[in-house]
A and B are shown apart, each in its own frame.
Chain A
Amino acid sequence: MSNIIRNDILIPISSKRTSKEKLFKICGLSAIIFALSMLIILFTTIFSKGYSAFYQTRIKLDINFNEELIDPAGARDVTTLNNADYSKLISQSLFKFLNIDKNNPKASEIKSLISYNSFLTLRDRVLSDPGIIGKTIKINLIASDDVDQMIKGNINLNISEENRKISDFQIEAINKLKSNGDILTVFNKTLFTKSDSREPEVSGVLGAIIGSFYCLFVAVCISVPIGVFAAIFLQEFAKKNKITDFIEININNLAAVPSIVFGLLGLSVFINFFHLPRSSPIVGGLVLALMSLPTIVIVTRASLLAVPNTIRDGAIALGASKMQAIFNQVLPLATPGICTGVIIALARALGETAPLLMIGMIAFIPDAPIAITDPATALPAQIFMWADHPERAFVERTSAAILILLSFLIVMNAAAIYIRHKFEKKW
C-alpha cells in the first residue's frame, strides 16, 4: 500500500468501460422506445382504420310511393302492406334519376348501390303512416358498403375494372348523385343501434354490448360476494393449517390458468352437465366469474391487510365480537381498495374472448338479447367474428368496435384509479 496520495482522479477511466456503460444505457433506452412505439403503432393503426366507421354514406332519393305497386286493391290491409315489393320502389327511383331503362343490362349494378336492407326502411315508413302512399317523398337511404368505402376513399379507382368492386358504370352514377347533392355523410347511428348483420353497412355492436353487459353483470353478482367472503375468511378467520394453505395454493394457481381452460370447464360442466343454454350470458357470466374470482380474492386480501390492526383491536376493546369488528369497521375501510380491484378484474374480463368462444358465444346473432338466458354475443367475440370477414367495410367496423371496447376499458380503469386516489387512506 502506498503512502503517496494518488493524483489520478482527473484521468478518466478506460474508454472501454465508458463505452460499455454508454452501450448499456442505450440498450435500456431503446428497449423502452421499442415498447412505447409498438403501443403507438398499435393505437394509430386501429384508430386510422376505424374512425371512418363512425360516419356512413347515405343517398337521398325521391321515392314515389306508387299505390299500384304497394297496395293495388286500396284496402290498406296490413299483410299486403307488409309483403309489398319495396325494393322495386328504390330501383324505380334510381332509374328515373339516372335516366336508365330498367331493361338496361347494367341495371342490376344500379340496384346494388343502395343497401340491400333498405326496403325494410320503406316498409316501416308505410306501416307507420299509410297516408304517404301515392306521394313522392325524399328519403335518406343507407348506401351499400361498396359505395360507402368508395366515398371514404378506401377503394383504389385506378386499377382496372375487373379487379375492382365498383364498376365504371356505378362510379358514373355515384358521381351524378354527388353533383346533385344527393350523397350525404352522416354520423353512423347504425353502429350503435343495430346488432350483427350480413351486410356491413347495417351492422352494429348493440347486441354485443348488451351481451357483454349481461355477462359482466352475472359475473359481478357471482364473483364479488364469493370472492370477498372467501378473502375475509382466509385473511381474518382462517388458522394457518394445511387446509387453508391448500386453498391458498389453489387460488394462486387459478390466477395463472389459461383462460381457454375455463372455457373448457364451462363447456363440459355448465353446458353439458347442467344443461344451461349455450351461447347465453348466464354461462358466459359464470365462466368470467370463475376467472375473476382469484383476482378478487387476492385484491380483497391485500385491502384487508392494509387496514391496520389498531382498528380491529379498538373495536374489540369496545366489546364487539371479531365478526362485528370486521364487518362493521374493517370492511368499510377496505372497500375502496376492493372496488378498485373489482373494477380492474372486470376490465380484464370484458376483454376476454377465448372462454366465450368455447361456450358458443360466437354464433351469428342478429338480435340483441333480452334475457340473460337468450343467446348472445359479447363485444370481443363480435370483434373476433368480424375480423374474419375480408370486406373493407368489416375491417373498418372491426377497428371501430375495438375502439369502442378500448374506450370502455379506459373508462373503467380511469374510474378505478379515481376511486383509489379519492378514497384510499394512507395509514
Chain B
Amino acid sequence: MAEEQIIPISKFNKLKKSTSKKVTISVQNISVSYDGKIAVDNISMNINQNEVTALIGPSGCGKSTFIRCLNRMNDVIENCTIEGKIILNGINIYNPEVDIVKLRTNIGMVFQKPNPFPKSIYDNVIYAPKLHGLVNNKSESDDLVEKSLTEAGLFNEVKDRLNDSGTSLSGGQQQRLCIARAIAVNPSVILMDEPCSALDPIASAIIEELIDTLKKKITIIIVTHNMQQAARVSEKTAFFHLGKLIEFSDTSIIFTNPKEKRTLGYITGRFG
C-alpha cells in the first residue's frame, strides 16, 4: 500500500482496536428497500459490547438507513420493507412479539439535528422515564434528571435553569440534552446519527469526550461522515458504499491497512 497517502491519520491520532469479547448486537443479512429501490443490501456485522462502532461512507450510502433499523425507526416510514434479522441478546428484534416501545428504551437514539422538545430542560429529560414508569415521585425524578444531565456533562451548565426551555440552549448544549434524555431510560445501546454535523468544532469535541466516557457503560454506534472523528472515537469501523458493507474491522486496520480498494479510495479522499 502507498504509505505516504495514509500517514496523516495514523500519524496524528492514536487509532484504537477492538478488545471486547462480548457481542451486543448481531446483524444478520439486513436489507432495506424503499418503494422497491434497494437502500441497504445484505449487511451482516457484529457489534461489540461497550465499544464504539463507527459507520463511515459517502453520502447516500445507506448508513443512516441502516442505523435506523437497529431501533426499528424505519417502521414509521411507509413503503419501507426490511429483511433479515437483528439479534439483541438472543432475541430477534424484528420478531412480531417484541414490543417496539420497550425496544426503544433499550436502544436509544440521538439525531443529526438536535431536537429537544419545546418544553423545559427538566421536562425534556424526565419525559421518557415518566412515560415508562421509571420514577414514582418528585425526588426520584429530580435525582434521575440530575444523574442523566451529569452523565451527559451538562448539569453544571444548566443546574440553575432547569425550567428554561430546552430550545434556549446553544447547539452543542441541545445535543447534550438529547443525549441526557436518551440516557435517562437506562439503555444498553445508543445509536448516534451524525450527532456532530450540525455543531461547531468545540461543541463536537465535547461530544466526542462524552462518547469516550459513556462507552464504559453503554455500547455506542455512531454514523459519521467525518473520518477523523471516526478514527478518534471508535474501536471498530464499518465502511459502507452504495448500500453494501464493504469492509468492517478494527479502526486501526481500516485507517492504516484496509483490505478493500474502495475503502482505501474513500479514506484517502479519492472519492466521496
Q: Which A residues are closer than 8 A to B by beta carbons?
A: 1-14, 17
Contact = CB atoms under 8 A, between A and B. Distances in A.
Contacts of B24: 5
A5 B89 CA distance: 7
B93 A9 contact: yes
Contacts, number: 49
Given A10-B102, A13-B132, A17-B131, 12 more contacts: A1-B217, A1-B218, A2-B186, A3-B217, A5-B88, A6-B89, A6-B106, A6-B186, A7-B91, A9-B91, A9-B98, A14-B133
Interface of B: 24, 49-50, 88-89, 91, 93, 95, 97-99, 101-103, 106, 131-133, 151, 183, 186, 188, 217-218
A13 B133 CA distance: 10
A9 B70 CA distance: 13
A2 B188 contact: yes
Contacts of A13: 99, 101-102, 132
Contacts of A4: 188
Given A1-B186, A1-B218, A2-B217, A9 B132 contact: no
A295 to B, nearest CB: 34
Among A3, A4, A5, A11, residue most surrounded by chain B Cβ atoms (within 10 Å): A5
A4 B22 CA distance: 12
A7 B99 contact: no
Nearest to A21: B101
Contact of B151 (A1, A2, A14, A17): A1
Contact of A10 (B91, B101, B183, B217): B91
Contacts of B101: 13, 17
Contacts of B186: 1-2, 6
Contacts of A12: 99, 102
A3 B50 CA distance: 8
A13 B98 CA distance: 10
8 contacts: A1-B151, A2-B217, A5-B49, A6-B186, A8-B102, A10-B97, A11-B99, A13-B101
Contacts of A5: 24, 49, 88-89, 188
A10 B91 CA distance: 8
Contact of A9 (B49, B106, B131, B218): B106
Contacts of A2: 186, 188, 217
Given A1-B151, A1-B183, A14-B133, A9 B102 contact: yes
Nearest to A13: B101
Contacts of B151: 1
Q: 5 tightest CB-CB pairs across the interface, nearest first? A: A1-B217, A12-B99, A5-B89, A9-B102, A5-B188
Nearest to B24: A5
B129 to A, nearest CB: 13
B22 to A, nearest CB: 9
B248 to A, nearest CB: 21
A9 B99 contact: yes
Given A1-B151, A1-B183, A14-B133, A9 B103 contact: yes
B190 to A, nearest CB: 11
Nearest to A16: B133
Contacts of A1: 151, 183, 186, 217-218
Contacts of B106: 6, 8-9
Contacts of B132: 13
B218 to A, nearest CB: 7
B134 to A, nearest CB: 12
A340 to B, nearest CB: 28
Contact of B98 (A3, A10, A14, A17): A10
